[in-house]
Structure 1
Amino acid sequence: MKIFITGATGLIGSALTQALLAQSHEVTVLSRFPEKARERLPFAVNIIPSLEMLTDFNEFDAVINLAGEPIFDHAWSVEQKQKLIQSRLQITKTLTTLINQSSHPPHTFISGSATGYYGDCGEQEIHETHPAGSQFPAQLCLQWEQAAFAANTRVCVSRTGIVLSHLGGAMQKILPLYRLGLGGKIGNGQQYWAWIHLEDMVNGLLFLLHNHHCQGAFNLVAPTPIKNQEFNRTLGQVLKRPTVFTVPAFALKWVLGERAQLVLDSQKILPTGLQEAGFQFQHPQIQTALHAVVS
């Protein structure tokens, strides 16, 4: 297939690009910085610097949209919130327009989203039919998804949890602390975290790409959400390091402001859609997933 990807230089996008090339697909990526993208991506990848070069997507079989300003890196000022919104909505709306302008549109549009869609759900099990929350991340995801569902083709949105990988993301930030014995639970540790190993994340996207009966929103998370205190204890056991510290919720809120909800909200999310469609996880348990990451 001929596949168009945005966000191909990110953690998920770069791994997905490698997997698509391994399956002999032809991959074209969007990058505002083609020279840097060329250094990071395989030579076989085609690179274009702007969507303005395209008037439609007639030549592509599928479009995968993974672009977006990182949500955790900067404080959520009014300006930063607008930047987060525009970085997702603007490109998604443009991709949707190009799909809708095509006389032979791509058969599949996969667009990113996040488990932030649900907000804080306590102990409740969450499936794809659960409504969006009311806080900023939830409303951001809701608008992002609505822009994607406007495309006149088969649309799948991937509500992604914490992606575990040694190549980047959350683990790249916390592993050095745990290796030094400075790990510990966050808040009271009772909040559920929805997580997924990078390999399962990529395989899940490939599954959605190749299975045309899949349509709508999908939780790309492992089938075993765990509480933060269990994640903390398990990572300490895997690394053979103590995990005695606690980061109080009030301290996180003081330092991070609204962003603290991303690690304090409880999300017992299940990948119901993927599992009912027949997807098989390679890393369904946190202990084996963390072993795979740290090794």
Structure 2
Amino acid sequence: MRILLTGGTGLIGRALCQHWHQQGHQLWVWSRDPHLVPALCSGAQGIAHPQELDGAAPLDAVVNLAGAPIADRPWSAARRELLWRSRVDLTRTLVDWMGRQPTPPRTLLSASAVGWYGDRGDEALDESSPPGGQDFGSRLCMAWEQEAARAGQAGTRVAVLRIAPVLAPQGGMLARLRLPFRLGLGGRLGSGQQWMPWIHLDDLVALFDHLLRHAECSGAFNACAPEALRNADFTRALARALHRPAALPAPAWALRLALGEMAVLLLGGQRLAPQRTRAAGFAWRYPTLAPALTQLLQP
């Protein structure tokens, strides 16, 4: 297949490029630094704008992963603008370009996040649940998905992946937690009762590949493991895997003081079930946390 990726130099994009390059697909990555793409993304060519592909053979698929990191710093006005521009505005530009092609790509796989649901407490959620819409993160994901959905007007199949925090050997959430937990400085966040969806990077790559290959799959899919865990359970499992205590909780008030509205990413939660993902025939390699951590933390 001929595949264009946005955000291809990030954690997920690099893993997808490696996987699809091994399968023999032709890959292009739209990047602000296209000259860096060959070194970062296995087998991919870098482009500065999708218009560079105008006049070439039609693309089979577009994979939209672009977006500035949402948890790197508090959501100041300038940061919100950057997050919105790098997700919503870029997706609008991408979909507009796709619609102008003589033969639009057959498939668009577009990233979203479990933050689409907002902070929902103990409410059981699946892909049929309504959005949250209260905090900035939820509104951002809603607008992001709406822009991606417009590709369907040109006949492109659109599948949106609402991605949970990704566990990977390098990068992502686990990389941030490993050092403090190894030093015995880890602990639950706030009460620890908030639900905490997660997914192993290998399963996320496999899910993208599954949705790419199954033309009957469209709409929203929860990209999370089927095991539902509270933050306190996740904390205990990580501490156990590292053979360390987890006795230093982070008070909710301190997180809110330091992070402002962004604290919802840590103190809020979603009790998610990947119902449509399971119904699509996807099989997880790491459906539960303990084996996932064992694999990820091995020397």
Flag whether TM exceeds 0.5 (same fold): yes
Residue of structure 2 in register with 1:39 after alignment: 39
Structure 1 residue 263 displacement after superposition: 1.0
Name structure 2 gaps, 5 residues minimum: none
Structure 1 residue 31 displacement after superposition: 1.3
Residue of structure 2 in register with 1:139 after alignment: 139
Structure 1 residue 40 displacement after superposition: 1.6
CA distance in 1, matches of 2:292, 2:54: 43
Residue of structure 1 in register with 2:118 after alignment: 119
Residue of structure 2 in register with 1:84 after alignment: 83
Structure 1 residue 74 displacement after superposition: 1.7
Q: Percent identity?
A: 40
**Corresponding residue pairs, total:** 294
CA distance in 1, matches of 2:135, 2:190: 19
Residue of structure 2 in register with 1:254 after alignment: 257
* Matched position secondary structure for 2:244: coil
1:159 to 154, 159, 162: 162
Asked if 1:23 corresponds to 2:26, the answer is no
The normalised TM-score by structure 2 is 0.95
* Matched position secondary structure for 1:289: helix
Residue of structure 2 in register with 1:7 after alignment: 7
* Matched position secondary structure for 2:188: strand
Name structure 1 gaps, 5 residues minimum: none
CA distance in 1, matches of 2:242, 2:125: 31
1:199 to 172, 181, 202: 202
CA distance in 2, matches of 1:232, 1:106: 42
Task: Say whether the 8 Å CA contact 1:66–1:112 is kept in structure 2.
Answer: yes
* Letter matched to residue 60 of structure 1: L
CA RMSD of aligned residues (A): 1.2
The normalised TM-score by structure 1 is 0.97
* Matched position secondary structure for 2:204: helix
CA distance in 2, matches of 1:56, 1:255: 50
Asked if 1:99 corresponds to 2:102, the answer is no
Task: Say whether the 8 Å CA contact 2:29–2:37 is kept in structure 1.
Answer: no
Task: Say whether the 8 Å CA contact 1:57–1:105 is kept in structure 2.
Answer: no
* Matched position secondary structure for 1:120: coil
1:29-70 CA deviation, whole Å, 9 max, x = no partner? 11111233232222x311112234344785210000000011
Structure 1 residue 94 displacement after superposition: 1.5
1:107-132 CA deviation, whole Å, 9 max, x = no partner? 10011100000011111111111111
1:215 to 218, 238, 253: 218
Task: Say whether the 8 Å CA contact 1:179–1:239 is kept in structure 2.
Answer: yes
CA distance in 1, matches of 2:89, 2:266: 27
Task: Say whether the 8 Å CA contact 1:234–1:287 is kept in structure 2.
Answer: yes
1:285 to 265, 288, 299: 288
